[in-house]
Amino acid sequence: MQFAPVLRSEWLKIRTMRPLLGALLALFAATTAFSALAGVSDTSDPGFDPLFTSFSGVLPGQIAAISFGAVAVSSEFHNGALRVSLAAVPRRGRWFAAKMTSIALPALAVGLATAVASLLAARAGLGSEADGLTAGEQVRAVAGCAVYLTLTALFAAGLTTVLRSGVATLSVLVPFILVVSFVIGDGAGTVVEFLPDRAGQLVLQQTHEGILGPWSGLAVTALWTTAALLAGVWSLRRRDA
């Protein structure tokens, strides 16, 4: 079977599953709402970064991106769905590529809309505090936000393929983001820069210190995602459906 019909089949699964549509809606709503709230918060902090503040809703919103990627894959491991999928598409690598593409495209589209809405909502609250942001910085952050959220969804999808459980994936990634990265990570020195979430979020900051820059940080997140996807396709080929 050619790639195009496989992709259409996987896209049909994505758009007909209510939990997945709900996750995308939650991604947009949560990210925009928290960014809007951040826009009206106190800006007297000497380390205040108007650009990162405008996208601070990404911090809770990325949990919805993780849920989207995890549920999209974990549904294949329920009631023998994966066996049916692989019976229709015996070439597992092609099926996996179609599945990941069907996850990446809507995540990217919703991520881009979310980034634009978050920036506009936050800027409305920030007012003159955001006047120092250049057009280039804002374009970079909008594009970077969309890519970061897409990579986050794909990272979760790859890990779910390995673990064969959306619950297991959420049990690993959500505590990692909420606890390890933000609590333990603050005392970990330079190592914290190379965590997948911290590295990718550098693209949302106006100023940054350390080894990585905005795009190199996003590249680190892409490497984490690539590793998860490679592990996923390896697991898919090695294990029974």
pLDDT the model gives residue 149: 97
Q: Answer for the pair 172, 179: CB distance below 8 angstroms, yes or no.
A: no
Cβ neighbours around 23 below 10 Å, total: 23
What residue ranges do the domains of the chain occupy? Answer: 3-238
In degrees, rounded to 5, the angle at the alpha carbon of residue 140 between the alpha carbons of residues 137 and 141 is 85
> How far apart are the C-alpha atoms of 35 and 20, rounded to whole Å?
23
As to burial, measured by CB atoms within 10 angstroms (0-12 exposed, 13-18 middle, 19+ buried), residue 86 is: middle
Q: Answer for the pair 24, 68: CB distance below 8 angstroms, yes or no.
A: yes
pLDDT the model gives residue 85: 85
Outline where the chain has alpha helix (H). Answer: 3-16, 18-39, 50-54, 58-74, 81-88, 92-126, 135-163, 166-175, 196-200, 214-238
Within 13 A of 208's CA, how many CA atoms are on the CB side? 22
Classified as helix, coil or strand, 40 is coil
Encode the chain (241 residues) as per-residue pLDDT tens digits.
Answer: 688 888 998 999 998 999 999 999 999 999 999 999 988 876 666 678 889 989 999 999 999 999 999 999 999 888 778 888 888 888 888 999 999 999 999 999 999 999 999 999 998 888 777 778 889 999 999 999 999 999 999 999 999 999 999 999 999 999 888 777 767 655 656 777 888 998 999 999 988 777 888 999 999 999 999 999 999 999 998 876 5
> How far apart are the C-alpha atoms of 192 and 17, rounded to whole Å?
36
pLDDT the model gives residue 5: 87
> How far apart are the C-alpha atoms of 236 and 187, rounded to whole Å?
37
Instruction: Please state the φ and ψ torsions of residue 212, each to the nearest 5 degrees.
Output: -90, 150
Q: Answer for the pair 92, 233: CB distance below 8 angstroms, yes or no.
A: yes
pLDDT the model gives residue 88: 83
Task: Say how far residue 86 (Cα) sits from the centre of its chain.
Answer: 27
pLDDT the model gives residue 184: 66
